Amino acid sequence: MNEIVTVNTEVEISDIRPLICELRGQPVMLDRDLAAIYHVMTGRLNEAVKRNLARFPPEFMFQLTDAEMRELIANCDRFRMMKHSPSRMYAFTEQGIAMLSAVLKSDIAIRESIRIMKAFVSMRRVLAVAGPALASLASRVEANERRQIEDQSRNEARFDEIFAKMGAEVIPGLLESIRKATSERREYGKGKKAS
């Protein structure tokens, strides 16, 4: 039985970058995306991996947990169709992807693995250049959040103090004024109906 998978034959590096996601603190690609790039069915890719498990230690490949699957499906629209899938996806690190080309043994797998490796290298370069700026920005955001939390705590303490003082003097008088105004409105309403 021949399986036909139609996929663009030229996958550009810019097309690969969005397929790289971060799981467990490292950049990875998922089995279904790799299968599409390599022009094979996801099941066939996973079978080839299972036949060669010795080549895929945990730092090269891992299966997503149920929680990771739920989070991925919730955050990425392209995985919506996986919501009711009984099987969990596999994630491949850069080293695992390099190993896949050896396991799949096709010209397409070799060519596309090279493109994927270039995408990973390109991402590392961008992060190396942008890293210090991003770290500075993250630091400023964190400092602002800390200040905001401190200000909120101070304001809450001030309001508590004001309400405590008001409670002893103003609140009972305020409540009495509200009761009186409410009863006057009722009386006015009753008198109007009677006339």
Start-end of H helices in 28-106: 31-38, 42-51, 66-75, 94-104
Q: Give the pTM.
A: 0.55
Identity of residue 25: G
What does the radius of gyration of the chain's CA atoms come to, in whole angstroms?
A: 31
Q: Tens place of pLDDT for every residue, the chain, 195 residues?
A: 444 444 444 445 567 778 888 889 888 889 988 888 888 898 999 999 999 999 899 999 999 998 888 888 888 777 777 777 778 889 999 888 888 878 887 778 777 777 887 877 777 777 677 767 766 766 777 777 777 777 777 777 776 777 677 665 656 666 667 667 766 655 555 555 444
Distances (CA, A) of 93 to 26, 99, 170: 7, 10, 66
d(CA 170, CA 43): 73
In this predicted structure, what is the pLDDT of residue 6?
40
